[in-house]
Amino acid sequence: MSGFSLSDLERIVEERAKASPDESWTAKLVAAGQPKAAKKLGEEAIEAVMAAVTNDRENLTYEAADVLYHLMVVLKIAEIPLENVMTELARRTAQSGLKEKASRQSS
């Protein structure tokens, strides 16, 4: 298993966001703003779904990487640290998924 983590990706996105948009896709997305970055995230998510539905494991791996990268860019623009997302995941996984979902529907 790779030693690369989402925290590593978050750090790289943070660094590349500071570059010139002429030199970095990340900086270009950040400069274009949240609507552009969110649109790219949506496009990549659709491509991942299509790969999953067709059982294209290789393409699903590739598209999943795109989804994670673009999600990190969207979080960066929104100034939401990965730690916040991980804390929410930890809270949700403290109980079964069915119980967690039911608690959200009754709120």
- For residue 96, the model assigns a pLDDT of 78
Name the 3-class secondary structure at 24. Answer: coil
Collect all residues with Cβ–Cβ distance below 8 Å to 46 and sequence separation of at least 6: none
- For residue 10, the model assigns a pLDDT of 98
Calculated CA dihedral for residues 83, 91, 77, 19, nearest 10 degrees: 20
Out of 3.40.50.150, 1.10.287.1080, 2.40.50.140, 3.30.70.141, the CATH code matching 6-106 is 1.10.287.1080
pLDDT digits (tens, 9 = 90+) for 21-65: 999 999 999 999 999 999 999 999 999 999 999 999 999 999 999
Q: CA-CA distances (angstroms) from residue 71 to 9, 21, 107?
A: 10, 18, 27
Q: Amino acid identity, residue 10?
A: E
